[in-house]
Amino acid sequence: MPRIQTFVSNKVLEDIDALITERRQEGADEMSSFTSMLIELGLRVYRLQREKKESGFSQMEFNRHILDNILRTRAMCTEVMRMCALSQEVISNGDFDIEELKKSVADFSKSGLEVFFHTDDEDSDR
């Protein structure tokens, strides 16, 4: 196997020494394979991080979108339940206005999103 020499900070050296001391107390003899394993793990983590950056997927934006849809659905269900409780006379008299309902749902969603995503009027027209 090839041999690699590299310079590391004192903190990294102390961490590796502490791990090796732990392993020796557990009865392990081969420390070269242990440090090789640490390097392999580091490479895997590095590759995964690069893949995440290249994928263009934003977990935060996804979470925001899901929460927005959940809040809108909740508000709509509340309004539908309210409508079901009303008599046909009240609905025909104009107590129910679709534009007012849309604004109410949008306001409810916006206030729910602001709890987690502090933004200024962004995506308020969804």
Residues 11-45: tens digit of each pLDDT: 998 998 898 888 888 887 777 888 888 889 999 99
Average pLDDT over every residue of 80-94: 70
Residue 103 has pLDDT above 70, yes or no: yes
Average pLDDT over every residue of 88-109: 75
Average pLDDT over every residue of 59-86: 85
What is the Cα–Cα distance from 18 to 117, expressed in whole angstroms?
A: 41
Please state, in angstroms and as integers, the Cα–Cα distance from residue 52 to each residue in 29, 40, 64, 105, 108, following that order: 37, 19, 18, 34, 33
Please state, in angstroms and as integers, the Cα–Cα distance from residue 47 to each residue in 24, 36, 51, 88, following that order: 30, 17, 6, 62
pTM: 0.41
What is the Cα–Cα distance from 20 to 40, expressed in whole angstroms?
A: 16
What pLDDT is recorded for position 84?
A: 67
Taking every pair of Cα atoms in the chain, the longest distance, rounded to a whole number of angstroms, is 86
Q: Residue 104 is encoded by which pair of tokens?
A: 């109410």
What pLDDT is recorded for position 87?
A: 65
What is the Cα–Cα distance from 71 to 87, expressed in whole angstroms?
A: 26
Mean pLDDT computed over every residue of the chain = 81
What pLDDT is recorded for position 123?
A: 47
